[in-house]
Structures are given as C-alpha cells and as structure tokens.
Structure 1
Amino acid sequence: MSLKQAVGRFGIWSAELRSDDPAVDGEIREAAAELEELGFGALWLGSSSSVAHGRRLVEATSAVTVATGIISIWQHDAAAVAAETAALERDRPGRFLLGIGASHAKLAADYRRPFSATRAYLDALDAAPEPVPAERRVLAALGPRMLALAAERSAGAHPYLVTAEHTAQAREALGPEPLLAPELKVVLEADPERARALGRAILSRYLVLPNYTASLERLGFGEDDFRDGGSDRLVDAVVVWGGPEEIRKRVAEFHAAGADHVALQVVDGSGRSGLPRAGWRRLAEVLEPRG
C-alpha cells in the first residue's frame, strides 16, 4: 500500500494527543483507537512532538498512520530520532511517519538559517546507522525552497496554517507524486460571530510568528489582516467553519487544489485543556472518512 493510500483523504491534527500529563495518558490511547474506528487515516501529533509520542499512539491502534506534525530539528538529535524511528518501524512496520520542521525563532534558541539546517538534518538522518528512508518522512514546508526540498528529500510536505490557494501553489511546486497533507482548522459552528471568535482565539498565537505571516503575505494578506487575531478575510481563508454542507464544501476546496490528505484540527474553544472528542465525532459524521 502506498503512503497516500495509507493516510487516505482525512486525518486528525491534535496537540492534545501528545500531552505528557500522566492523568490523560489512558484517555489519549482510548481516543486514538476511537479516531481509527471513526475512519480517519492518519493522526498528526502537533506542538513539537517526538517519536515517543508517536509510539504511544501506534501501540494504542492497529492500522492508522501516526505522524509527527512536527518534530523540531532544534530540539531532537537526528541520530537519536533515526534510532527511535527504526525501533518503532521494527516493532510496528509501516505505521509511523516522521514529520520534521524548523519551527520558529521565538521557539528555538539555536534558530538560524532554517533551510540549511533542515537540509543538514536530513543529511544526518540519511547518515545514521539505521537511516530514516525518504519515503517515511515529510517536511513542514511553506515557502518555495522548503517545498522543493520536501519533493527532493522526503515523501512530501505537511504545511501548517495555509489556504486553498497555498495548497494549489504547493502542489505545483511539489509536482504530482509527493504527498501534500496540509493542516486545516475546523470550527463546527454555523454562527459567523462565534465561529470567527473561535478562529481568532487560536490564530492569535500564530500571527506573532514571522514564518507564518511571511507565508500569508505571499498570499496577499497584510498587516491589517494580522491585527486583533486576524481579519474576517484571513479567518475565513485559514479556518473552515459552518454547518455540515459548508464544512464539506470548504474541505473539498483543499482537495480540489491538490491536497492528497487534509489534517483537520478541530477548534472548539477548549484550547489544550482537553481532547475535543465530541468534535471529532461530529466531524466524522460530516465528512464520513470511511466513505
């Protein structure tokens, strides 16, 4: 089975699934098994995750692909990551997808020359005693250079905080074969005022990070769009909200633009205090990922 077939068209992106709080360990495992049963093809571990976080979900499920979205190249030694990935592959073949990325200057003290550093990290993964094969890794890529590197040195790209227009541009940059799996925020709310308020609450944390604002500027957004958690125009472009029909329509736009797989982040206002399991169930009813 190819990677595209394994991950399918829909996945779940969640920072909550990588929590280190022992009190929620059991619920995380239970939730992962439920997401697999609901039909989602991949579980993306957000918020600077690790191979160990991935192992927990792999062991709690039977077939779903578990991916890191992403491992920060500044926080995890490449040789150690390669060794952990190889061990997990031996234990559960074909279940784990290594997503790596350069994170952000505000989040990494050693941040410098992110493109060159990412390329060097890939070199180190290749040079490890047990290398991570290119077909089992993806890059967090937004700009043209990183997208080109993803196409050349990995199975594809996992862009975060993007629009359907960016997805079309990324597909053109990658070519037809690599996996394109953008993250997409979903608010299961039809009221425009409440939906946009939930969108702004989560966007505000990203609009202070230059990597994201630079990417959005390339798409035609500007300073006015970045104030106060984001303009209506920006929120509507990067957050899918509405009733079932509108949700299906908007997610389909990303597939039509060239996404093979969409990693859906349910935003319900709870932040990272709990797993949005009710939202995941509702989303499964709307999208019918088993379909």
Structure 2
Amino acid sequence: MTTTPERLQTPEGQTRLVQHFQERFIEDHNNGWKNLWDTDNSDMWDRGKPSPALINLLEQREDIISPVTADGRRKKVLVPGCGKGYDVVMLALHGFDVVGLELSPKGVSVAEEYARNELQAPQTHNFGSAWAKKSEPGSISFIQGDFFRSDTTKGLTFDVIYDYTFLCALHPTMRAGWAARMAELLVSGGLMVCLEFPLFKDVSLPGPPWPLKGVHWNLLAEGGDGIVYPPKENRPGGTGWFERKWYIKPETSYESGRGTDMLSVWARK
C-alpha cells in the first residue's frame, strides 16, 4: 500500500489538500487555491525544482522540441498554474520566451522574485547532464488571472504549452473546458507537452490531485469530456483538437510520480 508524504497526511489518511476542497463548491475552488497561497500552504504541491523529465526532453530530444522556429524566431511558451515559477525559469534558460500564468496574486509575486534571483545565478537543478548552452536566455513574464477567461491572456497565442500539475488540480467537470482553452491558446501545429500525473491513483479517488489515467487521451485525441471510468487508453482518436505525436517514459521524474509518470506531446491540428 502506498502512502502520501507524512506532512500531507491526516489521522483519517486523507491528504490535507483533498480535505481542503472536499467541502467547497466547484465555483469556489479558485478561492480555495488563493487561500492556500495566502496562508503559506503551497508546500502541499511545491516540488522545489523544475521538472527533470522536461529538462531531459529539451536537452536530449531537440527533434521534438527546440527553442526557435525554422525562420529563427524564438518560440513562446505558456506554463499555466506555474506555481513558484520553476519551469518558467528553466524554459527561459533553455532559450524560450516564457509566460507563467498563476491565479494567485501572491503566487505571481513569489514567482517573480524567484525568477529575478534565479536569472542572476541559475542553480544546477535547471540543467541536465546533456546541457550544452546554445542560446541566450529568453524572456520571462507572469500573468495573474483565471486561465479559463479569454481576457486573461489578452489574445496571446503560443507555440508550446507545458502542463504538469495544472490539469490534475482541476475538478473533473472542468476538463473539457481545459482542452478547449488549450486548443484556443496554441497556434496551428503548436505543441502541448504534458507530464501526466498522477497515473498511479485509482480513478474513483477524490482530488486534488485528481487521477488522470486515460484522461489525456480521452480529452485530446478523442474529444471526450475527460471523465473516464474505467480508463481507456490508445483507442482510435480523430475527433479531438490534438494528435498525439510522442508518448515517452521519462528516464527521470519527480519521486511523487512513483515511477508511473509519462510525457505526452500533442500537436494542435
């Protein structure tokens, strides 16, 4: 039997994060996340470093994703639910222009401070063993607002979007809206990179983090609502906004993934 870290346990065995949201209406979830930031409880999801799986993808698979377009333009990346900005900074250090989106004003303030400090003296956790500096760092900016509101991004579109713990933080009834918004924000042919987590968690269990086994395929390839029970993976797609181009087992990822994380890379049709 697996358990969550002790600091996230209650005597009843439920995580503090699940308990924080279980009595809230879905319409009040945004306030729930803001409250966690305001009360210094971001440790519930904070990993303390950028994604090792994404770093390896950037450094070892430039055939999949590179920081510049064929005509030499720097690619623009969106990281929704960017937290303290770890992946935002790491992506910029690898040559992308990056926008981090966070719901909480305090979260944005924390991310901005982290970015300022990190760009002056980047820590080694921003780079992998295959790192070879090929370009100057890209730009970094942060937006505070609701991902689902079109005015939050003010008409911006992106070449790449990275999602790690954003989808799993959303109530399952919000998944179809997540997919539609991703399609709206990506340029035609743009890529969405998803570190799929948690895949070890039974789909009947509550969140956040909400279990996602089979959810990405249903949402993005099949055009479903993302509420899958039991999960069905690798069925013929075709009706969704996206085509899955790569499905990769990362060499390394966060320990919280328990060895089950997968990297999926989707192209906007």
TM-score, normalised with respect to structure 2: 0.33
Instruction: Determine which structure has greater relative contact order: mean sequence separation of CA pairs < 8 Å that are 6+ residues apart, divided by chain length.
Output: 1
Structure having the higher helix fraction is 1
TM-score, normalised with respect to structure 1: 0.31
